[in-house]
């Protein structure tokens, strides 16, 4: 079956010479069976006309946030809500900056800000603009929010210079759009539970025991699972991160709250424990702030927290079919991680070296080993890359499970 048949695409065409290629993209999308609605920004309309866009899309072209007719008939909210995917092609440097900052001063940006749908951008700009730290930061912000990109590519530019910044060809953007919809189905029907971030164990109303976990890896995994169609519940300790799109996020503080939220979210097919759960909590939380005693500092009596990963991995009818743990190690990484996998009874374990705090905690990069019963793999990359690699392995695992179930 054609992946694009009956899919609804909202195409936002921003200002850039590459806008002429978007006409071909509309033609290809229509040919593939998709419905295409278009927003042409003021800048976009300097390069192509609403008439040519409408002629190819077969729909009215929307241009004005302040048009009474447009707003009463369609409205920027409906435009984004009634689509399956929003594509911005070309995405100019200025349009990308507006997206990153959450501006909504024209129809395109307002529709995006009101959107609860996946977004794919095809950047197009001069290579210096693309490489500028401002643009790189903005595109990084969008990617962390789950926005997908197609291109840009290297080559000759309209301005006569050469470098990275050309918009991807319409066929390539179409391939990325297809890949999005194909990926979006791979884990559909599966429920996933992910823990992320640190836990804070209160000593008194103002002090707590915590750790340096940023939650970036766990949140990236939850987002990657959701983008492949899984029904994801993320149980997160305190982090500074936004909730990932299309993920049910439950915010907790302590390990006890985290395990209760995980139990409430069960049953799940996949459980991934990426949280850095505090191993111990104060045996008693003081209701009032502990005052400084002139004679001696207070003594803290600690008690052990429940082990969420071990609890989820216990054999039984409610055990998820795939349980994945993390092993934060500072020495004998692989050996310790192997031992942790056996001890905690999880199927896979992702081992990382947290010995050098600058390298892992809070950073966007990671270096991990995935250890399974049958072997191990080593991955380096951004936390998002690691999440994507892990989700690819999960897809393979469930594909193989299905094949062996079918063979029985």
Question: Is there a catalytic annotation at residue 153?
Answer: no
Q: How far is the CB of 184 from ligand CTP (least distance, A)?
A: 27
Is 261 or 273 the residue whose CB approaches ligand CTP more closely? 273
Q: Which of 19, 120, 228, 327 binds ligand CTP (CB under 6 A)?
A: 327
Tokens of 306: 């429940």
Q: Which of 142, 230, 250, 308 binds ligand CTP (CB under 6 A)?
A: 308
387 binds ligand CTP (CB under 6 A): no
Q: Give CA–CA dist 13/26, Å, rounded.
A: 11
Is 29 or 391 the residue whose CB approaches ligand CTP more closely? 391
270 binds ligand CTP (CB under 6 A): no
95 binds ligand CTP (CB under 6 A): no
- Could you tell me if 145 and 243 are in contact, meaning their C-beta atoms sit under 8 angstroms apart? no
Strands 153-156, 162-166: parallel, antiparallel or unpaired by DSSP?
A: antiparallel
Tokens of 68: 């009474």
279 binds ligand CTP (CB under 6 A): yes
317 burial type by CB count under 10 A (0-12 exposed, 13-18 middle, 19+ buried): exposed
Residue window 181-220: x/- pattern of binding to ligand CTP, with contact defined by CB under 6 A: --------------x-------------------------
Stretch that binds ligand CTP, among 44-52, 162-170, 269-277, 394-402 (CB under 6 A): 269-277
Q: Give CA–CA dist 270/312, Å, rounded.
A: 10
Stretch that binds ligand CTP, among 17-25, 245-253, 305-313, 367-375 (CB under 6 A): 305-313
Is 122 or 278 the residue whose CB approaches ligand CTP more closely? 278
Q: How far is the CB of 89 from ligand CTP (least distance, A)?
A: 40
Strands 322-329, 270-273: parallel, antiparallel or unpaired by DSSP?
A: parallel
19 binds ligand CTP (CB under 6 A): no
268 binds ligand CTP (CB under 6 A): no
Tokens of 111: 């529709």
Q: Give CA–CA dist 84/117, Å, rounded.
A: 6
Q: How far is the CB of 248 from ligand CTP (least distance, A)?
A: 19
| Nearest CA among 4, 70, 3, 6 for reference residue 39 | 70
Q: What is the DSSP string of 282-325?
A: ESS--SSPPPPPSS-PPPPPEEEPP-HHHHHHSSSTTS-SEEEE
User: How many residues does the structure list for the chain?
Assistant: 408
Is 131 or 303 the residue whose CB approaches ligand CTP more closely? 303
Residues that bind ligand CTP (CB under 6 A): 195, 255, 273, 275, 277, 279, 305, 307-309, 325-328, 340
């Amino acid at each position: 079956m054609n992946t694009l048949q009956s899919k609804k695409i909202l195409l936002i065409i921003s200002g850039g010479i590459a806008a002429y290629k978007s006409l071909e993209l509309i033609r290809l999308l229509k040919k593939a069976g998709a419905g295409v609605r278009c927003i042409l920004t003021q800048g976009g309309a300097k390069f192509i006309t609403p008439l040519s866009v409408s002629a190819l899309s077969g729909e009215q072209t929307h241009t004005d946030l302040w048009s009474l007719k447009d707003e009463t008939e369609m409205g920027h909210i409906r435009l984004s809500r009634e689509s399956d995917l929003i594509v911005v092609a070309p995405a100019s440097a200025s349009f990308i900056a507006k997206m990153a900052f959450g501006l909504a001063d024209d129809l395109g940006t307002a529709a995006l800000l009101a959107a609860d749908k996946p977004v794919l951008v095809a950047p197009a700009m001069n290579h210096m603009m693309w490489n500028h730290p401002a643009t790189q930061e903005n595109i990084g912000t969008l990617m962390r929010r789950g926005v997908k990109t197609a291109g840009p590519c290297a080559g000759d530019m309209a301005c006569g210079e050469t470098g990275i910044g050309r918009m991807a060809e319409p066929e390539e953007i179409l391939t990325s759009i297809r890949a999005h919809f194909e990926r979006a189905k791979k884990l559909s029907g599966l429920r996933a539970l992910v823990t992320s971030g640190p836990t804070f164990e209160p000593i008194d109303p103002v002090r707590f025991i915590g750790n340096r976990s940023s939650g970036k890896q766990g949140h990236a995994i939850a987002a990657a699972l959701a983008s492949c169609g899984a029904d994801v519940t993320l149980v997160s300790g305190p982090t500074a991160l936004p909730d990932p799109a299309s993920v049910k996020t439950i915010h907790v503080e302590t390990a006890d709250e985290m395990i209760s939220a995980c139990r409430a979210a069960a049953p799940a097919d996949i459980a991934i424990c990426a949280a850095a759960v505090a191993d111990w909590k104060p045996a008693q939380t003081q209701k009032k702030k502990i005052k400084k005693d002139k004679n001696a500092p207070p003594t803290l009596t600690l008690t052990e927290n429940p082990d969420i990963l071990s609890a989820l991995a216990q054999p039984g009818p409610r055990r998820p079919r795939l349980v994945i743990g993390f092993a934060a190690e500072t020495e004998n990484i692989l050996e310790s991680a192997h031992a942790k996998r056996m001890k905690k009874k999880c199927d896979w374990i992702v081992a990382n070296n947290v010995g050098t705090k600058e390298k892992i905690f809070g950073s966007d990069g990671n270096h991990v080993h995935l250890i399974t019963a049958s072997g191990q793999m080593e991955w380096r990359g951004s936390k998002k890359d690691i999440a994507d690699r892990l989700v690819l392995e999960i897809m393979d695992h469930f594909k193989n499970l299905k094949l062996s179930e079918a063979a029985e």
